[in-house]
Amino acid sequence: MKLPTVYAFREHAEDGGLMSYGVDLRGQFRRADAYVDKILRGEKPSDLPFEQTTTFELVINLRTAKGLVVTVPASLLARADEIIE
């Protein structure tokens, strides 16, 4: 059974999923590194601000779309951060 699916992480789209929309995990880890650095330099964790992700990325796998015989609208392709062909 072939089922078009939207995932939360880009790695799923890179591995053959139709598309993903979610946070950039690599960017999240870089931000976590900055937090750890501040803590190791002596800042108290309770003094650090809470950060919420504001950047999301849309990745579309056109190879999978063609295999599923799914037409991705041009307006969605225009908004994509990355298109896998």
Entry pTM: 0.79
Q: pLDDT digit string (tens) for 49-81?
A: 988 888 899 999 999 999 999 999 999 999 999
- Give the single-character DSSP code of 44: -
**Strand order of the sheet with strand 6-7?**
6-7, 19-23, 56-61, 82-84
Report which residue type is found at 49. P
Strands 6-7 and 19-23: parallel
* Closest by CA position to 36, among listed 26, 48, 19: 48
Confidence of residue 1 (pLDDT cuts 50, 70, 90): low
Strands 56-61 and 82-84: parallel
Q: pLDDT digit string (tens) for 5-26?
A: 999 999 999 999 999 999 988 8
Can you tell me which residue has the tokens 């650095």? 37
